[in-house]
């Protein structure tokens, strides 16, 4: 949606994850569906990142409860990384299920495990960031049967032929010498 707005000449929403919830908070049990999308900068971990400029999508149902708002739904974003075996490029989409509370800031009965609800506005960006970071693959593979790199010559065994013999185990060198006719190495 944000990219379509830019292409159509409409201004890009600078705060796509800010939600006004005054009307929702007036009645306990009231619900509202929210679809939000926007860019979250510097979103990644180790060798996996959400590409710069990629949209993070939120499809949530907001429900009021005494003292706060519950956000339930999904957060999704594309990711790119490096295969842990061959070092080749890998990409995919992360989809995280969320169910989080937003509670008012301050007071003696502050909910330490809830996201802050400031006045009648809540910020969905920290929820989206946390959900994506927790679901990004730590060690992605380009394919389940990726053969990786040859430890001797460095060839990608998925695409390049490799005739390197596996290195011998030094613990068996005495037996290897007997098998090879007595020529010890």
The pLDDT confidence band at residue 5, using thresholds 50, 70 and 90, is very low
pLDDT tens string 88-124: 999 999 999 999 999 987 654 666 789 998 888 999 9
Q: What is the 3-state secondary structure (H, E, C) of 84-122?
A: CCCCCEEEEEEEEEEEEEEEECCCCCCCCCCEEEECCEE
Question: What residue ranges do the domains of the chain occupy?
Answer: 2-146, 147-185
pLDDT tens string 130-145: 999 999 998 999 999 9
Average pLDDT, the chain: 86
**What are the strands, taking DSSP E only, across the chain?**
18-20, 31-39, 44-45, 48-49, 55-65, 68-82, 89-104, 115-118, 121-123
């Amino acid at each position: 949606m944000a990219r379509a707005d830019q292409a159509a000449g409409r201004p890009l929403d600078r705060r796509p994850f800010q939600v006004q919830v005054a009307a929702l908070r007036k009645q306990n049990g009231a619900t509202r569906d929210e679809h939000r999308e926007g860019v979250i900068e510097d979103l990644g971990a180790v060798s996996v990142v959400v590409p710069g400029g990629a949209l993070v999508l939120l499809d949530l149902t907001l429900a009021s409860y005494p003292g706060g708002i519950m956000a339930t739904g999904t957060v999704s974003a594309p990711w790119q990384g490096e295969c842990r075996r061959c070092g080749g490029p890998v990409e995919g989409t992360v989809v995280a299920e969320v169910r989080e509370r937003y509670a008012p800031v301050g007071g003696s009965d502050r909910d330490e495990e809830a996201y802050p609800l400031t006045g009648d506005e809540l910020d969905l960006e920290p929820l989206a960031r946390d959900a994506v970071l927790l679901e990004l693959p730590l060690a992605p593979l380009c394919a389940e049967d990726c053969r990786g790199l040859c430890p001797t010559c460095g060839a990608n065994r998925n695409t390049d032929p490799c005739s390197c013999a596996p290195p011998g185990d030094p613990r068996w060198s005495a037996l290897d010498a007997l098998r090879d006719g007595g020529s010890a190495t």
